[in-house]
């Protein structure tokens, strides 16, 4: 969430930054526009309450002393009975006001970093660089390639669970596992990330810490009768590993990689990518997470993005890096680089990784702090990025490695994970 202190001292500057996200973010009726009055009211009530509490504490002390020495304190006690009633009433009101303000703060998105390009939608995103040479020939869609090879089975997925689920068979399943292993090995061995294995279910507090709640509950799968949710990304459990902790400054940066399944309801994307594995309700992902000192957030973002890129390079998949504009970055993000892989069947680059810095936004929400130079706790900056989305990577491997005879060439880096095989072909 945004910084409470800065909210009062730098209101105008924050509003200017937020307004870059687009229409509606700071307009009348928005969380932002309602927050100011709630803050004022909340602080006024608290001030009044503190005066009363101070009086109660003072006289209570006197009563204690009088009683201790055997003196009569009934006059003070009668007086305090009334004060206590007032405190109780005002305390409830003040708490309500504070909760209301806190809740509205949770609905205000992060401030885009100054370096984020202007723009309202993806059309304004800025391509930073390209890697590799996209093939230009006609390539079938991955669902045709995969079904012909007998390694992708969308019908079975639909039967078992519904649309947007799939089944992998044989070398398809093995390819999924190989990609997972290759990615984890690269990040753990070469890029300095400690591997962690975490729950795929998280509670409300954890979901709030990274920003999925309270605003995006409709995008999540919620367990019947329980305040638990399936995670949409490993970012949630891995970042929250440190919730409510004060870390030693020397322990930073903390870098974790994790494989998890991810679950998304895809509520707002009816009709989009209905075929194939591009947009599934359940998919696998290897995620990179970093906790760093705030001043290192941007340089860490470049590092983390490079780590994700290294996977695409190892797999010889052409891609480009895009600097998302202010209108296209996510709710919690301060700055985001998307990696888009070349999909020859569609002749376009498709998102395969999203690498973001959140500044101290999540650090404040999840209450993750470290001790700075002066010994005072400071909210950490957090980052994360897909390294990579495995399903989409599998799609890219199939399409980019497809050969006219229907077989698929396996990138060299992956071969050792597939028993030394160089191609996937019909048995």
Partner RNA sequence: GGAGAGAUGGCUGAGUGGCCGAAAGCGCGCCCCUGCUAAGGGUGUAUAGGGCAACCUAUCGAGGGUUCGAAUCCCUCUCUCUCCGCCA
Distance of CA 213 to the CA centre of its chain: 11
Q: Which helix (H) or strand (E) holds 246?
A: strand 246-247
- Bridge-partner residues for 257, per DSSP? 195, 288
We find the least distance from the C-beta atom of residue 309 to RNA, in angstroms, to be: 36
Within 193-288, residue ranges assigned H as helices are: 204-209, 235-239
Helix, strand or coil for residue 404?
coil
* Rounded Cα distance, 327 and 316, in Å: 31
The smaller minimum CB distance to RNA, of residues 10 and 266, is found at 10
Alpha-carbon distance of 14 to 22, in angstroms, equals 14
Eight-class DSSP state of 123: G
How far apart are CB 241 and RNA at their closest, in Å? 15
Q: Indicate which residues carry an active-site annotation.
A: 264, 279, 351, 354, 392
The residues of the shown chain that bind RNA, judged by CB under 7 A, are 4-5, 8, 43, 46-47, 49-50, 53-54, 56-61, 63-64, 67-68, 77, 80-81, 83-84, 88, 95, 246, 369, 375-377
| Bridge partners of residue 228, in order along the sequence | 203
Q: What does the angle CA 291 – CA 216 – CA 122 come to, to the nearest 5 degrees?
A: 80
* Residue 187 DSSP class: I
**Strand-pair category, 246-247 with 369-371:** parallel
CB of 65 to RNA, least distance (A): 7
Rounded Cα distance, 145 and 166, in Å: 15
Helix residue ranges, H only, 327-409: 361-365, 390-401
Q: How far is the CB of 61 from RNA (least distance, A)?
A: 6
> Is-contact 285 317, C-beta < 8 A?
no
The whole-angstrom separation of Cα 187 and Cα 175 is: 18
């Amino acid at each position: 969430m945004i910084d409470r202190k800065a909210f009062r001292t730098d209101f105008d500057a924050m509003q200017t930054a937020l307004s870059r996200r687009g229409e509606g973010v700071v307009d009348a009726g928005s969380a932002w526009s309602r927050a100011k009055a709630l803050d004022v009211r909340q602080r006024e009530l608290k001030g009044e309450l503190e005066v009363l509490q101070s009086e109660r504490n003072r006289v209570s002390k006197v009563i204690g002393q009088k009683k201790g020495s055997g003196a009569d304190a009934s006059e003070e006690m009668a007086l305090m009975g009334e004060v206590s009633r007032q405190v109780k009433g005002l305390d409830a009101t003040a708490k309500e006001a504070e909760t209301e303000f806190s809740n509205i703060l949770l609905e205000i998105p992060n401030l885009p970093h100054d370096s984020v390009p202007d723009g309202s939608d993806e059309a304004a995103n800025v391509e930073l660089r390209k890697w590799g040479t996209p093939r230009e020939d006609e390539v079938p869609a991955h669902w045709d390639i995969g079904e012909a090879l007998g390694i992708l089975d969308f019908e079975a997925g639909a039967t078992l669970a519904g649309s947007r689920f799939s089944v992998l068979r044989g070398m398809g399943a093995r390819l999924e596992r190989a990609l997972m292993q290759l990615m984890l090995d690269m990040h753990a061995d070469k890029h300095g990330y400690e591997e962690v294995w975490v729950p795929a279910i998280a509670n409300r507090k954890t979901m709030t810490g990274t920003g999925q709640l309270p605003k995006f509950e409709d995008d999540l799968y919620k367990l019947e009768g329980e305040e638990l949710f399936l995670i949409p990304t490993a970012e949630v459990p891995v970042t929250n590993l440190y919730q409510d902790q004060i870390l030693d400054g020397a322990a930073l940066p903390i870098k974790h990689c994790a494989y998890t399944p991810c679950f998304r309801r895809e509520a707002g994307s009816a009709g989009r990518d209905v075929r194939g594995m591009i947009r599934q309700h359940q998919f696998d992902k290897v995620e990179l997470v970093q906790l760093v000192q705030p001043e290192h957030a941007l340089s860490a973002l470049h590092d983390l993005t490079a780590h994700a890129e290294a996977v695409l390079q190892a797999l010889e998949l052409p891609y480009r890096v895009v600097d998302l504009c202010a209108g296209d970055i996510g709710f919690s993000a301060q700055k985001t680089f998307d990696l888009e892989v070349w999909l020859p069947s569609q002749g376009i680059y498709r998102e395969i990784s999203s690498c973001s810095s959140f500044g101290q936004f999540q650090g404040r929400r999840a209450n993750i702090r470290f001790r700075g130079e002066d010994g005072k706790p400071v909210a950490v900056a957090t980052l994360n990025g897909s390294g990579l989305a495995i399903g989409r990577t599998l799609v890219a491997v199939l399409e980019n490695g497809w050969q006219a005879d229907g077989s698929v060439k396996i990138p060299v880096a992956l071969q050792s994970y597939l028993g030394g095989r160089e191609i996937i072909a019909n048995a």
